[in-house]
Structure 1
Amino acid sequence: MRRLVDVLTTTLAVLSALAMALMMLHVTADVAGKYLLRAPIPGTAEVVANYYMIAAVFLPLAWVEARSQPIVVDLFYTMAPAAGRRAMDLLGTVLTIAFYGVLAWLSWGSALAAWRIGEIVEGTWKVVVWPAKFLLPLGLAIACIVLMPRLADLLLGRDPGPRTEPA
């Protein structure tokens, strides 16, 4: 099971990195076209905002959570006794799952609505955006699934694995 999670989360992280690379190339080509050829690429802003940025932010969430490396603030954590750190880990994990879960559920409804109407964005060019709406609930739901074994370990009093150390 751990191998499947590793493959899935790594695949999502690679897709996110690919989206960032494509965004960089797309925007560079758009700017070059605009200033060198007086012909920008139509729909660049729409594609960047509706595809690349969503993929770059939400697809790697599961990868970050699987490695237990989200952004953390260790102000009180490092000073707390072991029981306090365990309680904070448990509360943080429960709240993260709840937050991701609610966002996934709400964005799933939005994605279905966009799919039903064939949502597009019209700027200088029509851009079909409904497929990108599914990236948000996908990334969030997989992050929730990845966090479940951590929650189970915390509830059963087992060590959930390494925690990010402060930089």
Structure 2
Amino acid sequence: MYQIGRSLSWVVKAASFVGAICVVLMMLHVTADVAGRYLFNAPLPGTTVWVANYYMIIVVFLAIGVAEEQRSHISVDVFTDLLPDRPRNVLSVFATLVTIAVVTVLMISGYTEAVKKTAMTATKEQGSQLFEVWQSYWLIPAGAALMIAVAAYRVIATVTGARSGLNEAPPEANFIND
């Protein structure tokens, strides 16, 4: 069981690394576009399409698995902090199951849309050029599936009491609640 958590953690780290690379690439791409536009009157074609349809999708949707692993999603713990451990764990499992249900809907609808866009070889036009964007639609169900896998594994580990093997945020990261 612990090894599954370690494997999931490795996949999440890889997704995080890909997201970090995309942030750097996006920064360089936009900088080159601005420099080309204002210094040489020759902007890079497709910058807007690449930023909106690739870089941002990768950064956002691959990062939701990272946020789930580290329990970094927004939560309001006003009342649950007053509860004993057992009821708090039950509510945590219930909330995670609701999260899994909602993200599953996102994953299924994202998959359906990705299939449609792939079948029609979706493109976006910028200026006088067409850029294929159908590939980016597959990133949404992939990111959602990663989040579901981490959340479902956490529920199983919590219910069974097994060590999870996930890299959660360190306790000193809870300084906001203090």
Question: Same fold per TM (> 0.5)?
Answer: yes
CA 1:56–1:18: 2 relative to 1, 3 Å: same
Q: Does 1:65 align with 2:53?
A: no
Tell me the equivalent position of 1:74.
77
Tell me the equivalent position of 2:95.
92
Q: Does 1:3 align with 2:6?
A: yes
Matched residues in 2 for 1:28 and 1:79: separation?
A: 49
Check whether the contact 2:97–2:152 (CA below 8 A) recurs between aligned residues.
Answer: no
Paired letter, 1:10:
K
CA 1:28–1:110: 2 relative to 1, 3 Å: same
Matched residues in 1 for 2:57 and 2:144: separation?
A: 11
Instruction: Give SS of 2:42's match.
Output: coil
Q: 1:118 aligns with which of 117, 121, 137?
A: 121
Q: 2:157 aligns with which of 145, 153, 165?
A: 153
Q: 2:30 aligns with which of 27, 30, 50?
A: 27
Q: 2:137 aligns with which of 111, 133, 137?
A: 133
Matched residues in 1 for 2:30 and 2:21: separation?
A: 14
Per the normalisation by structure 1, the TM-score is 0.89
Instruction: Give SS of 1:70's match.
Output: coil
Q: How far does the alpha carbon of each residue in 1:71-117 deviate from its partner, in whole angstroms, 9 at most, with x for none?
A: 32222222233233223212220111111111000000100111111
Tell me the equivalent position of 1:108.
111
Unaligned runs of 5+ in 2: none
Matched residues in 2 for 1:159 and 1:72: separation?
A: 24
- Structure 1 residue 133, shift from structure 2 partner: 0.6
Backbone CA RMSD of aligned residues: 2.0
- Structure 1 residue 64, shift from structure 2 partner: 2.1
Unaligned runs of 5+ in 1: none
Instruction: Give SS of 2:81's match.
Output: helix
Instruction: Give SS of 1:51's match.
Output: helix
- Structure 1 residue 160, shift from structure 2 partner: 7.3
